[in-house]
């Protein structure tokens, strides 16, 4: 894939045919310039659906973009396709986003990354990821350097697991069939601290906040919610995702801009039911977790937001909805 290719965006997807992207003669789908934008969404899905007709020839689709690609819009296309497609299209589901970070130069890239809106490509890619591979660890001399890079990645995306690799060698189960957009276990809190493990009614432990070069993240444990509080949260997240600002109230009448790149959460209801939140940029979904309800005393849930503007004002606004 050549990121310097001059093929225009409207021609960015084809399967061997420059005129009809749905014509199939081989099993390679090329995305020139790493571009899979909304104007060619139907062509891209049509091409992949054509591949799906060859049952038994493949089990999994790996979509590799260039180092300059923003994974958010691409993930949204395939996620939206699940909701509105029929036939073969329903079998194309978004499993997860994997990011490979260079262990030698990755930290420098993140430190120097910038763009017009203050979020550079590497930061967007890490923020949108469900799994991060820290590659080329064999040529890094200092364990301390690796730890610093991992810490920086964690500050951008505190919810994505980081795996150290050489030549990107990894157990395939770590990156394939991870069900990042479906399984509650992918979001479920593990190893809650003492405060989180003993939540009482209406108690919310202090959120954890991370920030790096304009990218901020908010990670918090959430007590069992009533249906009313879950509905209030959904109204809040709609305003944040779609209007890119916090809801106004008497305590904060001024506009406070917020941009969400990725959101995920597990909500435990007072009844014991569980719901998962998944969101990419302006798209989100809250769905019930079937067959995995909490037995006995409801446990705590978890929420992770990654984007811009997630400061003390945003935390206070969110807490006012959940309390």
Place of tokens 């978004």: 94
* Same domain membership, residue 188 and residue 316: yes
Same domain for 27 and 87?
Answer: yes
Both 225 and 161 in one domain: the answer is no
Burial code of 179-206, b = ≥16 C-beta within 10 A, e = fewer?
A: ebbbebebbbbeeeeeebeebeeeebbe
pLDDT tens sequence across 198-251: 333 333 334 455 556 678 888 888 889 999 999 999 999 999 999 999 887 655
CB 308 within 8 A of CB 215: yes
Q: Are residues 194 and 315 in the same domain?
A: yes
What is the predicted pLDDT for the residue at 252? 57
Q: Are strands 13-14 and 30-31 parallel, antiparallel or unpaired?
A: antiparallel
> In terms of domains, do 276 and 261 share one?
yes
Distances (CA, A) of 232 to 36, 45, 239, 267, 301: 34, 35, 11, 13, 16
55 with 117, same domain: the answer is no
pLDDT at 195: 33
pTM: 0.71
Per-residue model confidence (pLDDT) at position 27 = 43
Nearby residues of 140 by Cβ (< 8 Å), 6 or more positions away? 103, 104, 146
Count: domains in the chain = 3
Q: Which of 58, 77, 94 is the C-terminal boundary of a domain?
A: 94
Query: Looking at residue 165, what is its pLDDT?
Result: 96
What's 219's domain CATH number? 3.30.1220.10
d(C-alpha 184, C-alpha 264), whole Å: 10
Residues 138 and 259 grouped into a single domain: no
Together in a domain, 197 and 316: yes
User: What separation in angstroms does the CA of 167 have from each of 19, 64, 72, 225, 250?
Assistant: 37, 16, 26, 45, 55
For residue 61, the enclosing domain spans 1-94
| 145 & 198 share domain | no
Which of 49, 65, 94 is a domain's end point? 94
Q: Are residues 165 and 151 in the same domain?
A: yes
Low pLDDT (below 50) residues in the chain: 1-27, 31-34, 36-40, 116, 189-207, 294
The verdict on 112 and 86 lying in the same domain is no
The CATH number assigned to the domain holding 110 equals 3.40.50.300
Within this chain, do residues 256 and 170 fall inside the same structural domain, yes or no? no
Q: Chain-centre distance of CA 56, in angstroms?
A: 30
Which of 45, 63, 94 finishes a domain?
Answer: 94
Reported for 141-147, long-range contacts at CB under 8 A and 24+ positions apart, including other chains, are 145/103, 145/107, 146/103
């Amino acid at each position: 894939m050549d990121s310097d290719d001059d093929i225009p965006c409207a021609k960015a997807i084809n399967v061997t045919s420059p005129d009809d992207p749905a014509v199939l003669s081989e099993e390679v789908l090329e995305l020139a310039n790493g571009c899979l934008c909304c104007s060619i969404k139907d062509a891209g899905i049509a091409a992949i659906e054509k591949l799906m007709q060859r049952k038994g020839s493949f089990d999994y689709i790996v979509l590799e973009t260039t180092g300059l690609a923003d994974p958010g819009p691409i993930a949204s296309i395939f996620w939206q396709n699940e909701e509105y497609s029929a036939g073969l299209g329903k079998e194309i589901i978004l499993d997860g986003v994997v990011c490979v970070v260079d262990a030698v130069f990755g930290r420098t890239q993140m430190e120097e990354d910038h763009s017009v809106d203050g979020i550079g490509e590497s930061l967007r890619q890490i923020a949108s990821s469900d799994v991060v591979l820290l590659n080329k660890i064999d040529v890094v001399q200092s364990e301390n350097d690796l730890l610093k890079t991992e810490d920086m990645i964690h500050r951008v995306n505190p919810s994505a697991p980081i795996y150290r690799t050489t030549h990107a060698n990894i157990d395939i189960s770590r990156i394939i069939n991870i069900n990042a957009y479906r399984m509650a276990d992918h979001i479920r809190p593990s190893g809650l601290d003492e405060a989180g493990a003993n939540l009482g009614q209406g108690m919310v432990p202090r959120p954890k906040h991370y920030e790096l070069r304009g990218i901020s993240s908010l990670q918090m444990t959430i007590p069992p919610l009533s249906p009313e509080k879950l509905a209030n949260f959904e109204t809040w997240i709609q305003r944040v995702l779609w209007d890119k600002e916090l809801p106004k109230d008497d305590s904060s009448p001024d506009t406070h801009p917020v941009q969400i790149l990725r959101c995920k959460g597990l909500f435990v209801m007072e009844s014991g039911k569980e719901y998962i939140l998944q969101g990419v940029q302006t798209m989100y979904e809250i769905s019930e977790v079937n067959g995995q309800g909490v037995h006995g005393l409801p446990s705590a849930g978890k929420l992770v937001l990654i984007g811009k503007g997630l400061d003390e004002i945003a935390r206070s606004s969110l807490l006012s909805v959940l309390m």
